[in-house]
Structure 1
């Protein structure tokens, strides 16, 4: 593994560990202290915000592809100034249009969403820039600033002011988005200098970036649509309690991003530079081992439900189904999605994703028709993940699997669900960890040895 990849993994992992500490507290305190309706309001806003990237229409992803694999020093300051300023002007206009629409519809949550477009997409621009150029330390600082400030605001509303109204939390979230964006703009000035060489707005730059990145953006947002489709179904067909419980399960699932994000983010930069099939296959198998191991964090989450948040205990089965889907999603996003991007195959990625969204929609409808329960949508999500996994294999046949590598994730999913459904948190955790160690050693012995060697080096 290259030194740059190790450093990238370390920086993003450290950022995510800090995020984990604050998000753990936030995601357990909010449902505990707030009413179901207030918590549902916050989760609805977060669901809307997951689609905010649609409103740069591919510009940020065009920049991501344009600068991917380069260092900041290799990029022309004039070019970067024009690129950034064009997006800034474009997003100001987009925000105004969306705000007018939200006011006409008289939807308060949509108004907060409209206000979030400008700061979130500009902040995402900087995150993607630092990710594409390997500046993972700066990427980590952006993540930490956002999480810590939102955490402090949430704790202020709950413990100091003591309010139980979701809209106060939405207001503080939007305020934090603007603070982080302004800080990033000021930091960028240090990199680019005060001298202004670039244009304030370039229509050519706008169209080129959108043209290059629109398929990737729609693909990424289609991925979000696929993974959030179940929540839309729950929100539309079931009551606020079911939506709050389902959203809580999704929040627990998101904790895995602490460990998953360093892998998915740094591998893009790595695949831009590495074309050796043996190395890529080795990395894929390591990710398979990693995905089967990381889902074990569902058991501590279940333990907290059993002793601390009993009113959300009905979300446990949903949580295990969603975590099992992540065994496939982590492999897809870490390996196959990054390979699509690195090899400039975003059009194929987009087509496959559209197919999976249609399949996912059909699965959700059929599962709900069979059993009108919130768990049915989680089953639909798992089935969609499996289909996406197989569709991805078809585009990268040169990463051939042997029979053990093919069976491994399916054996882990079955064991994980049995342990999660049939046992309480502690015995389920012990059985699953033991099974994972044994099966991994039998099916992926080289990767297990490699993982243990890496752990030893970290400890030393």
Structure 2
């Protein structure tokens, strides 16, 4: 086994172990919280999760710029004094933002629970952004072991305390939010202990440091806007659901989305290490690596759809109060395919080629389409099923558009694969939605085997390339 592959395998093992751990906690939380909190409290908790997913954008591309700029560099080669100064300036800036948001929430939002959630979100946002700053530096400089360690730390603390409080009878969603803030704060403190040389040191507040900050923002702003647009693709639909139906409906749909996204934990184990590795790779090798990764990933992802029906039966028995919403898994389960491919391959490669502008355009087009479909399905037709179906359509559209743009850059033809995969996705959705019994599983397995047979040549070639790479 060559040294390079051994290093990659070690990094994947670190992140995979961390993500498996995180996934197990996510699974347990997904199953336990709705069981003990009740539908209304769980729905407010989901609203908090919805809000907290957007706080990372309040650094306005600052951290993204650092991530893109130093991707592939060695940690020891960084100008530590610059990052010490930026850490503390970022800290002050985010506290000001959190204060403004909290004042707005208290004075202008009449719903007491929603106001409380927004205040807690703003506080948690400061902690989250500072930890992201440190974690992105670790990730982009290929310190994957430390990155993986401090990524899972807060989830472990969170899990233990939530179980303890639920056991003691604290079944109010507010206690869960307090625990989330506390666990993130402890994880931040521990992460600071690992990266003392970029937190504590000489602070320079001069023209040069502000020029550096503005340069990082100018580099990262397109990536940040692309990420905002990416999240809003689903966010606009969820916002429409939250406004047009009650909080319980929002919570039930959110639960189904969470279950459908659980597979992303596995994919993120590989996606985390991809960017620094690709930045160090010869550009001429990237198309071959892409083909190998794509063939492996799609084979795995479409195989995972087989577990939909057994999972639905188990969840319906465990959470009978959510049985009506779990039916929507038939529509939403394929989002793991498009989100995984987008995260691991399309976005990572576009960032490696420094094509953030294309990422922004692709996501902006998809966001505009999301707004149109939300208006039609939610506000004009008042159709929840159509609104949920639009989510998988939008993510599929964005992924296909992104891959077409990327593969043109690398001069790779993937149209046959896109047609095959779209057909397999439609077969899964139609059989699961209209048949909705064990026969839907048999139908999908038959078509999946046909897909494998059609792809047999590419699969063999991928295995040969992989073996050659390992032995080099």
Query: What residue number does 1:105 align with?
Result: 108
User: Which residue of 196, 204, 211 maps to 1:199?
Assistant: 204
- TM-score normalized with structure 1 length: 0.90
In the alignment, the residues of structure 1 paired with residue 205 and residue 160 of structure 2 have an alpha-carbon distance, to the nearest angstrom, of 36
Instruction: Establish whether residue 389 from structure 1 lines up as the match of residue 389 from structure 2.
Output: no
CA contact (8 A) 1:146 1:180 kept: yes
Query: What residue number does 2:131 align with?
Result: 123
Query: What residue number does 2:161 align with?
Result: 153
Q: 1:358 Cα shift?
A: 0.4
Instruction: Establish whether residue 164 from structure 1 lines up as the match of residue 167 from structure 2.
Output: no
User: Which residue of 405, 416, 428 maps to 1:416?
Assistant: 428
What are the residue-to-residue correspondences of 1:226-305 with 2, within 5 Å? 226-274=233-281, 275=283, 276=285, 277-305=287-315
Instruction: Establish whether residue 440 from structure 1 lines up as the match of residue 452 from structure 2.
Output: yes
Q: 1:257 Cα shift?
A: 1.9
Query: What residue number does 1:47 align with?
Result: 50
Query: What residue number does 2:10 align with?
Result: 7
CA contact (8 A) 1:86 1:205 kept: no
Q: Which moved more, 1:302-311 or 1:412-421?
A: 412-421
Q: Rate the CA distance shift 1:105–1:244 in 2: closer, same or farther, 3 A.
A: same
In the alignment, the residues of structure 2 paired with residue 219 and residue 385 of structure 1 have an alpha-carbon distance, to the nearest angstrom, of 14
User: Which residue of 311, 320, 324 maps to 1:310?
Assistant: 320
Q: Which moved more, 1:289-298 or 1:336-345?
A: 289-298
Q: 1:188 Cα shift?
A: 1.2
In the alignment, the residues of structure 2 paired with residue 178 and residue 347 of structure 1 have an alpha-carbon distance, to the nearest angstrom, of 34
In the alignment, the residues of structure 2 paired with residue 185 and residue 63 of structure 1 have an alpha-carbon distance, to the nearest angstrom, of 18
In the alignment, the residues of structure 1 paired with residue 459 and residue 276 of structure 2 have an alpha-carbon distance, to the nearest angstrom, of 22
In the alignment, the residues of structure 2 paired with residue 306 and residue 428 of structure 1 have an alpha-carbon distance, to the nearest angstrom, of 17
In the alignment, the residues of structure 1 paired with residue 465 and residue 440 of structure 2 have an alpha-carbon distance, to the nearest angstrom, of 27
Query: What residue number does 1:20 align with?
Result: 23
Q: 1:375 Cα shift?
A: 2.1
Q: Count the aligned residue pairs.
A: 454
Q: 1:163 Cα shift?
A: 2.7
Q: 1:16 Cα shift?
A: 0.9
Instruction: Establish whether residue 183 from structure 1 lines up as the match of residue 194 from structure 2.
Output: no
Query: What residue number does 1:140 align with?
Result: 148
In the alignment, the residues of structure 2 paired with residue 104 and residue 132 of structure 1 have an alpha-carbon distance, to the nearest angstrom, of 40
Q: Rate the CA distance shift 1:30–1:418 in 2: closer, same or farther, 3 A.
A: same
CA contact (8 A) 1:325 1:382 kept: yes
Q: 1:192 Cα shift?
A: 5.2
Runs of 4 or more above 4 Å deviation: 191-194, 422-431, 448-455
Q: 1:294 Cα shift?
A: 3.3
Name the SS for the 1:396 alignment partner: helix
Instruction: Establish whether residue 71 from structure 1 lines up as the match of residue 74 from structure 2.
Output: yes
Q: Rate the CA distance shift 1:101–1:79 in 2: closer, same or farther, 3 A.
A: same
In the alignment, the residues of structure 1 paired with residue 380 and residue 119 of structure 2 have an alpha-carbon distance, to the nearest angstrom, of 37
In the alignment, the residues of structure 2 paired with residue 198 and residue 447 of structure 1 have an alpha-carbon distance, to the nearest angstrom, of 54
CA contact (8 A) 1:58 1:217 kept: yes
Gaps of 5+ in 1: none
CA contact (8 A) 1:67 1:133 kept: yes
Q: Rate the CA distance shift 1:77–1:116 in 2: closer, same or farther, 3 A.
A: same
Q: Rate the CA distance shift 1:423–1:159 in 2: closer, same or farther, 3 A.
A: farther
CA contact (8 A) 1:363 1:384 kept: no
Q: 1:454 Cα shift?
A: 7.8
Q: 1:450 Cα shift?
A: 4.6
Q: Rate the CA distance shift 1:118–1:290 in 2: closer, same or farther, 3 A.
A: same
User: Which residue of 215, 218, 221 maps to 1:208?
Assistant: 215
Q: Which moved more, 1:141-150 or 1:411-420?
A: 411-420
Q: Deviations over 1:147-173 (max 9, x none)?
A: 11111222123111x133211211221
Q: Which moved more, 1:364-373 or 1:374-383?
A: 364-373
Name the SS for the 2:24 alignment partner: helix
In the alignment, the residues of structure 1 paired with residue 394 and residue 289 of structure 2 have an alpha-carbon distance, to the nearest angstrom, of 28
CA contact (8 A) 1:300 1:425 kept: no
Query: What residue number does 1:406 align with?
Result: 418
Name the SS for the 1:401 alignment partner: coil
CA contact (8 A) 2:59 2:129 kept: yes
In the alignment, the residues of structure 1 paired with residue 373 and residue 155 of structure 2 have an alpha-carbon distance, to the nearest angstrom, of 34
Name the SS for the 1:336 alignment partner: helix
Q: 1:345 Cα shift?
A: 1.4
CA contact (8 A) 1:295 1:326 kept: no
Q: 1:185 Cα shift?
A: 1.4
Query: What residue number does 2:62 align with?
Result: 59
Q: 1:297 Cα shift?
A: 4.3
CA contact (8 A) 2:295 2:462 kept: no
- TM-score normalized with structure 2 length: 0.88
In the alignment, the residues of structure 1 paired with residue 137 and residue 445 of structure 2 have an alpha-carbon distance, to the nearest angstrom, of 38
Q: Which moved more, 1:257-266 or 1:427-436?
A: 427-436
